[in-house]
Structure 1
Amino acid sequence: MRNRILGVAVGAGLLVAGLPGVAAADSSGGWTPVTYGPAEYKAGDVCSFGLREEFPTQGVEERVAETKPDGTPLRTDFRGPLIALYTNVATGKQVEGDLSGVGTLWSLPDGWSLWNIPDNVGVTIHAGEPYHAKGEFVFSGGSVIAISPTHQHVILHQTTVTDVCAELS
């Protein structure tokens, strides 16, 4: 879920589609590639219509910058290009979202995670979330998002917001 946000986010998602696979660390300072898979959401879950999300341009990398005493990640940094292609499944209409940039994920001991994204992030909010209306959004120019252990999103700060569902309606 944390990687969807980035994709979703350099993002979401913030929460952004399908959990990525991560390659083994190499000699590039601990940066490893992240791969985002496509996602499809049924009508009413994210948008009023079925929504498909794909990532034709990917180059995101992540590195664990700090760990907790048990060795699990505390702070993970992300960077790189990521373009999302959103499709209204019913009409075939498409729009692109630029999710490229940098971001930091803090994995807190209580199970919450905190995303600080000064650039762009895609955020997927499902129906029934108590803190934000459902939808697919691209936040640009900076955002801070908290995600509960049950994957509920709390948008603490956002600047420019693109409503992908509205653009595809």
Structure 2
Amino acid sequence: MRRAVIAAAVMVTALLAGAVPAQATEPAGGAGAHGGWVPAPSAAFEQPAGARCDFAIRSEPIRDEVRKLVLDTYADGKPKRDLYAGDLIVKFTNLETGVFTEVDASGTALVEYGADGSMTYYVVGPVIFGFRADGSTLPRGMWLIDGVYSVAFTPTFQKTLTMIHGTTTNLCTLVD
């Protein structure tokens, strides 16, 4: 797994430097199947008390320049591999007290989608992931994970974090 994460980090770096593989520039299935970089905005959301933090929270992008590049698709057109990159600053608020923090979640991610509904994010830099209290590798919370790592999702959204190098910060503790 460690080699896969490092290989994905190298690929992400190469893609951002302009070394895009042929399948990303020459769409399968004819012209327009991939279409180049497109905006991939993050939606604001709220979670009730107990879902991720002991209190109700809101997460909302305040600067969102994230874009997506489809690298590969399955025969039915569903995504197989996507690349996400761009600036993302998120305001994270405790809805009970109004205390908030702003965090940089501008990491770059290569996402591989399994045909069974699983997916794996290979990430360089900071990204926010929510973890439930039911068996994932981090405790319940909204986590800012930064560094070089992967997060694998099962089809039922259990998450497994594999950290190569980096840090984890539970945003709930920053606004408690």
TM-score interval (norm. to shorter): 0.7 to 0.9
Checking the alignment, whether the CA contact within 8 Å between 1:47 and 1:135 is kept in structure 2 is yes
Amino acid of the structure 2 residue aligned with 1:135: G
**Partner SS for 1:166:** helix
- Count of residues in Structure 1 that have an aligned counterpart in Structure 2: 143
Whether 1:165 aligns to 2:172 is yes
CA RMSD of aligned residues (A): 1.8
- Range with bigger deviation, 140-149 or 156-165: 156-165
Structure 1: distance between partners of 2:62 and 2:135:
29
Q: Would you tell me which structure has more strand in proportion to its own residues? A: 1
Return the letter of the residue paired with 1:168.
V
1:76 aligns with 2:82: yes
Q: What residue number does 2:133 align with?
A: 127
5+ residue gaps, structure 1, are: 1-25
Counterpart residue number, 1:149: 155
- 1:130 Cα deviation from its structure 2 partner: 4.5
Max Rg structure: 2
For residues 101 and 113 of structure 1, what CA distance do their matches in structure 2 show? 17
Q: Could you tell me how far 1:67 is from its partner in structure 2?
A: 1.6
- Partner of residue 23, structure 1: none
Paired position in structure 2 for 1:139:
145
Following TM superposition, the consecutive aligned residue runs of length 4 or more in structure 1 with deviations greater than 4 angstroms are: none
CA 116–130 in structure 1, closer or farther in 2 if over 3 Å, else same = closer
Question: Percent sequence identity over matched residues?
Answer: 30
Residue 96 of structure 1: which of 92, 102, 110 is its match?
Answer: 102
Q: Which amino acid aligns with 2:86?
A: G
1:67 alignment partner AA: T
